[in-house]
Amino acid sequence: MTRLFGTDGIRGAANEYPLTADVIVNVGRAVASIFSDANHRAKIIIGKDTRESGGMIEDALASGICSTGGDACLAGVLPTPAVAYLTSSTDASAGIVISASHNPFYDNGIKIFDVDGYKLADHKEDEIEHLLLNENTGNVNGKSVRDTGSVESLKDASERYLTFLKGTLRDTTFFNGMKIILDCSNGATYRVAPKLFNDLGAQVEAISANPDGKNINADCGSEHPEVLIDSVIAKKADIGLAFDGDGDRLVAVDEKGQVITGDGILAICARTLKRKGLLRNNLVVSTVMSNLGLRLALKDLGIRHLMTQVGDRYVLQQMNASGAVIGGEDSGHMIFLDQHTTGDGMLSAIRLIQSMHDENMTLSELSQVMAVFPQVLLNIEVQNKPAIESVASLMDAIRSVEKILGEKGRVLVRYSGTQPLCRVMVEGPDKDETQQYCQQIADVVKATLG
């Protein structure tokens, strides 16, 4: 058995290793084992998105949990951050989300949250791996095989989560009459997001809110906001909000149809927090994938900026280490540590709209805080993943482009942590030239690693 955990839990094609029923049962057993002891019976909350394979994985996890003496508490279809919140606010021992985020329907995954609602630490993942690799996922706590657990449903899961989100606002009157278009990506937010913004008083229209098990993320959501753009313009909406399949990402569309990605949202919200004296340590955390424009915007605002490797878990680690309250990724993961333990697309939407109210500006006006440098990102399928620095021809191609761009751009080449892909990103002052330079490097990747 090879390494199971990537940068965001276990992920792969559903019904293929490692997401086969037998492996998933053992994952459930291992999770229940490490979160229980002789005096404590594990209670694990399980949530899922709308993929057709979610039920199979849910049943397998519940079976594994119960066979080891733990209890499985099924929350149904819910966004990832909802499971994190429910885990930390109830008597649960841990939470599991069944989702592959923005990936197509035939993929799926398993994310695990600890008792405090944080994504599982590396050493806990290693502990699960150890149990699985050594085929020791059963009676590790000396329990009798007769001490099986039970399966129950958490019937008020969505209501608890919505109450939490509403509780982050002191005043909701500014939502009254606001026209919002939601793109729910046919995913986990398809019920809770429309209800939230309707309850807050907005005029809401939801698109991509009819999941069929296979249309999750299909030409919709935060990865594909084109239909949302058209809807915002046609309906003359104040804002468009696009979530991804599991609801932990947000991409916004302003009233003119312009897309505001994670970096732009970070800059907007950071400025508002600073003006209100709430930007703890005068600091924002993002990843190396952040646009050059974010760095310059934060510099102009007099805000400190720390960067991490790609992955919201690494952003969170740096936030905790440095005392930051806001951080995220350009992909749309935003973490507001003053209110939640993980990225939450719906909470990010609330905070963005709060900024519009506090600054008394439209979203298009607010977005002027950051000038976006042309950025091109190409994903190339690879057969293997040797260290980038060890591939001489690739390093030559990277250095050649870097020399041309100088201080007016940058190059970032890295492997996906969850897929057999090499990601080539180039930023520069001119869109056509940036596309050309990115393609040059991508061609070398394909020739050497594809």
Euclidean distance between CA atoms 221 and 181, whole angstroms? 12
Could you give the angle at which helices 392-405 and 431-449 cross, rounded to 10 degrees?
170
* Alpha carbon distances (Å) from 7 to 29, 122, 310, 344, 419: 22, 10, 9, 18, 10
Euclidean distance between CA atoms 346 and 335, whole angstroms? 11
Q: What is the DSSP letter of 119?
A: B
Contacts for 215 with CB less than 8 Å, ≥ 6 apart:
105, 186, 208
Do 13 and 107 meet the contact criterion of CB atoms below 8 Å apart? Answer: yes
101 is catalytic: yes
Name the CA radius of gyration of the chain, rounded. 22
What amino acid is encoded at 250 in this protein? L
| Annotated active-site residue in 101, 331, 348, 355 | 101
Pairing verdict, β 326-328 and 250-253: unpaired
For residue 332, count other CB atoms closer than 10 A to its CB: 27
Look up residue 14 and give its two tokens.
Answer: 């559903």
Look up residue 339 and give its two tokens.
Answer: 């209110």
Bridge partner list, 316: none
Do 111 and 96 meet the contact criterion of CB atoms below 8 Å apart? Answer: yes
In 221-350, DSSP assigns E strands to 239-243, 250-253, 259-260, 283-287, 304-308, 326-328, 334-336
- Residues labelled catalytic: 101
